[in-house]
Chains A and B, each alone.
Chain A
Amino acid sequence: MSNSLYGPLPDVAEDAGYTDAPERRGFFTDTSVCIGCKACEVACKEWNAVPDDGFALTGMSYDNTGALGASTWRHVAFVEQTRPRQVGDGSDTRWLMASDVCKHCTHAACLDVCPTGALIRTEFATVVVQSDVCNGCAYCVSACPYGVIDRREDDGRAWKCTLCYDRIGDGLEPACAKACPTDSIQYGPLDELRERARTRLDALHEEGVTEARLYGEDDGDGVGGAGAFFLLLDEPEVYGLPPDPVVTTRDLPAMWKWAGGAALALAGGVALSFLGRR
């Protein structure tokens, strides 16, 4: 099954109506060089004026952010592991750090369920919330297979990473990628990033880091491949990532056959709600 809602999609921006779109852009987050400094979290907040998210010690290693949410668009997870030494006696500590972010899915359920047209695909094939349109219905919140997008308590609207849409439109790097001290977060054309990621993966495998793997780079996965993908050093669950995410609107086309003109009605709804906010 391959169509606008599921499976590989060669030109994501074109599918969203951009006939002259630039190359698809994304993030490659190489967690093997992440030092857990959280510069990405702060740089994101400074650029996007995201409010603080409360001052609570979680007790989850050095992670006091907890999870992605309306006021956390980058989240660095810290995983402490103790493993037997490969050579000799005793055990070694391993401290995994990984900066999570919105995946900017090829098939983005948040976007597909958004009744107001607040969530859109950009010409860079990224997914952004148009805060001037969002009415806070929160359909997107439950649709996201990663639990990324969320509603902010105070204004009720949904928020998430925009891949710094305003910056990349001006040819700049997203704030998190620019700040990242070790280039763990890399931004660029997705094809290039995927190439780079495979080279890095091969190098790590050669070094004997056999547990290294890519996450979200595969077009054939449940979201048609992510615009933001990762190199991990353990199972995704270890980092709090779903092992096999599937776009929650996978079955939408089948439903349409039954629903007839529902699509048009939905589109009309988009327009009405759009006008309603003017």
Chain B
Amino acid sequence: MGIDSWPVIRQLTGTDPLGRGRAARTSRTDALRARTESADRVVDSVCPYCAVGCGQKVYVSGEKVVQIEGDPNSPISRGRLCPKGSASKQLVTSPTRQTRVLYRRPYATEWEPLDLDEAMDMIADRVLAARREGWQDTFEDKPVRRTMGFASLGGATLDNEENYLIKKLWTALGAIQIENQARI
């Protein structure tokens, strides 16, 4: 670092004799840039909270989300977001977010860890058992071909594609108690 980068030198020799502006800048200040400008990529998204459907831009650096803000191109939201939409990054990067499978045995007082693959197998077994247990060929003499053994309640932040496969699989299994926040 050359001597002319010293603030006091800049102050005494430059245009900022009181040292309240240009002369007092640090190299860190000089280097400040918006992290959105240097993001590895910017991905188009939609706010996950209410149904206004505000456009979001998701900025990713080093495979981490570094910023989520409004998409000015959206004719719905024109780049604006409410407090919840503005908190979207915290939603995604929350330190309290549970990212591992947890398992609670019947009558247990604590969680225990469980491998995702094993959990999926266990759930598949339980679905088939409950399906059998609750199976009805007829109800009051009428054919129903259904199971009352398990039920499902989805939130309304599910994607259409997700709802579609949920309805498709559950219905094929004969489940009918398939519900959603939309009725609440």
| Chain A directly contacts chain B within the complex, with at least one CB pair under 8 Å | yes
A residues in contact (CB < 8 Å) with B:
4, 13-19, 37-39, 41-43, 46-47, 111-112, 117, 119-123, 128, 130, 132-133, 164-167, 169-170, 172, 175, 178-181, 263, 267-268, 270-271, 274-275
A270 and B33 in contact (CB under 8 A), knowing A17-B15, A39-B85, A275-B6?
A: no
- The segment from B74-82, B101-109, B138-146 that touches chain A is B74-82
Residues on A with C-beta less than 8 A from B178 are none
Q: Contacts A267-B8, A268-B8 hold; do A17 and B28 have CB atoms under 8 A apart?
A: no
Q: A47-B67, A123-B21, A130-B28 are in contact. List 19 more A-B contacts (CB 8 A).
A: A16-B22, A17-B17, A17-B23, A37-B83, A46-B68, A46-B90, A117-B20, A120-B25, A121-B20, A130-B25, A132-B26, A166-B34, A169-B32, A178-B69, A179-B86, A181-B82, A270-B8, A271-B11, A274-B26
Q: How far is the CA of A156 from the CA of B89 in the complex (A)?
A: 27
Complex contact B32–A165 (CB within 8 A): yes
Interface residues, chain B, with chain A CB atoms under 8 Å away = 6-9, 11-12, 14-26, 28-29, 32-37, 67-70, 79-87, 89-90
Q: Which residues of chain B have C-beta atoms less than 8 A from A164's C-beta? A: 34
| Residue from B6, B9, B16, B20 having most chain A Cβ neighbours under 10 A | B20
B94 to chain A, nearest CB (A): 12
Q: Which residue of B lies closest to A182 (CB)?
A: B80
Contact A43 B34 (CB under 8 A): no
Question: Please, which residues of chain B bring their CB within 8 A of the CB of A167?
Answer: 34, 36
Q: Which of B6, B21, B25, B29 contacts A271 (CB 8 A)?
A: B6
Which of B19, B28, B82 is in CB contact (< 8 Å) with A267? B19
A-B contact pairs, 12 of them (CB 8 A): A17-B14, A39-B82, A39-B85, A47-B69, A120-B29, A133-B26, A175-B86, A179-B70, A267-B11, A267-B12, A271-B7, A274-B26
Please give the distance in Å from B74's CB to the nearest CB on chain A.
13
Q: Which residues of A contact B32 (CB under 8 A)?
A: 165-166, 169
Chain B residues whose CB sits within 8 angstroms of the CB of A178 once the complex forms? 69-70, 79-80
Query: How far apart sit A181 and B20, CA to CA, in the bound complex (Å)?
Result: 35
Task: Kindly identify which residue among B21, B34, B82 contacts A122, using a CB–CB cutoff of 8 Å.
Answer: B21
- Residue in A43, A120, A132, A169 whose beta carbon sits within 8 Å of that of B86 in the complex: A43
Residue B26 contacts which of A14, A42, A130, A263 (CB distance < 8 angstroms)? A130
The answer, among B9, B21, B83, B90, for a CB contact under 8 Å with A16, is: B21
**A19 proximity list for chain B (CB < 8 A):** 15
* B12 nearest CB neighbor, chain A only: A267
Contact between chains at A180 and B80 (CB < 8 Å): yes
Q: State whether A132 touches B83 (Cβ < 8 A).
A: no
Which residue of A has the minimal Cβ distance to B35?
A166
The distance from the CB of B24 to the nearest CB of chain A, in whole angstroms, is 4
The distance in angstroms between the C-alpha atoms of A122 and B37, with both chains bound, is 20
Within the complex, the shortest CB–CB distance from B5 to chain A, in Å, comes to 10
In the bound complex, residues from chain A placing their C-beta under 8 Å from that of B86 are 39, 42-43, 46, 175, 179
B8 touches A166 (CB 8 A): no
Asked if A17 and B37 make an inter-chain contact with CB atoms under 8 angstroms apart, the answer reads no
- Give the shortest distance, in Å, between A151 (CB) and chain B (any CB): 19
Instruction: For the complex, give the distance between the alpha carbons of A68 and B77 in Å.
Output: 28
Contact B24–A120 (Cβ < 8 Å): yes
B69–A179 touching, CB < 8 Å: yes
The CA of A268 and the CA of B20, in the complex, are separated in Å by 13
Taking the closest CB of chain B, its distance from the CB of A160, in whole angstroms, is 15
